[in-house]
Amino acid sequence: MRSLRELMDLEGRVALITGGGGHLGSAMGDALAELGATIVVLDSAPDVCVQTATRIHETFSVETLPLVIDLADEAAVRSVPGRILDRLGRLDILVNCAALVGTSELKGWAVSFAEQRSDTWRRALEVNLTAPFVLVQACAEALARSRHGSVINIGSIYGIVGPDMSLYENTSLGLPAAYSATKAGLIQLSRWLATVLAPKVRVNSITLGGVWRNQPEAFHRRYVARTPLGRMATEEDIKGATAYLASDLSLYVTGENLVLDGGWTAW
């Protein structure tokens, strides 16, 4: 029987993280690099992508590869596994973290329902849901060959419960319908993929509650009052869940949705 240290060891494995230059993506990259994985940072922002890959390499002494990709470009998305295999020779872990979120600056996005636009809805579907589908499809063969293949999709509490819009009153924040719909779809896609790609690839999702981003005080106060653990999430909160689902610690876990919300959905 292997020790816990052996089960969590990711040395020799390659992890691809979409949105890898963002707050959550880079924290997940840190977690997997700390366990020895080579990290592929995929992001649409060139400077952020390269800077994050460089920082992870220098901090954890692991190999990194920055990939600048627009997730709405299907041809570019489908080219990703080939580029990784050409450079690194394998792919073991895929984390779908990139998403348009409530603070994304899009027309007809974080506004009242009457003002939300269908073209922006379709853009969210492309980035938040279609891109993960395409990327998993493109990476499935490489992940299966790994014998340690693990996919982690990042959901949201608003993919499993409806919103309390009173949280956003008198603030600049909002919650688009498309965000909730795509996150719900991603959680269900995880379950579907878990059964279809088994037994060679495990697929799970992590559902996050609200993450502290210096939100307006009124929103923060209301949100915390509804959270049993009395605070919003931080980037550090996702590191343990990432390490668990990416490594052999969760070797008999697939099709699960691990909820990290401080108890938000418990009452």
Is position 100 within any domain?
yes
Cβ–Cβ contacts within 10 Å for residue 59, how many?
12
Q: Which residues are CB-contacts of 151 (< 8 A; sequence separation ≥ 6)?
A: 93, 94, 95, 96, 136, 143, 190, 193, 197, 201, 202, 203, 204
**The predicted structure's pLDDT at residue 109:** 82
Cα separation of 42 and 36, whole Å? 18
The answer to whether residue 265 sits within a structural domain is no
Encode pLDDT of 146-195 as tens digits: 999 999 999 999 999 999 999 999 998 888 999 999 999 999 999 999 99
Tell me phi and psi for residue 256, to 5 degrees: -100, 155
Beta bridge partners of 18: 42, 96
Contact 156, 207 (CB under 8 A): yes
pTM for the model: 0.96
State the CATH number of the domain containing residue 214: 3.40.50.720
Q: What residues are paired with 131 via a beta bridge?
A: none
Q: Determine, yes or no, domain membership for 28.
A: yes
- 72 burial via Cβ count (<10 Å: 0-12, 13-18, 19+): middle
Give the pLDDT confidence of 104-125 residue by residue, as tens digits. 677 888 888 898 999 999 999 9
The total of structural domains in the chain comes to 1
Strands (E), 37-180: 38-43, 64-68, 93-96, 149-156
Q: What is the mean pLDDT of residues 236-258?
A: 98
Q: What is the pLDDT of residue 252?
A: 98
CA-based nearest residue to 210, from 197, 222, 198, 193: 222
Q: What is the 3-state composition of the chain as percent helix, strand, coil, each rounded to the nearest 5?
A: 50, 15, 35
Read off the pLDDT of residues 9-35 as tens digits, 9 standing for 90 and up: 999 999 999 999 999 999 999 999 999
For residue 132, the tally of other CB atoms under 10 A from its CB is 28
Report which of residues 256 and 170 the model is more confident about.
256
For the record, the structure tokens of 224 come out as 């915390």
Parent domain of 193: 4-256
Residue 41 lies in a domain: yes
Handedness of CA 207, 242, 38, 12 (dihedral sign): negative
Kindly state whether residue 262 falls inside one of the protein's structural domains: no
pLDDT at 104: 67
Does 238 map to a domain? yes
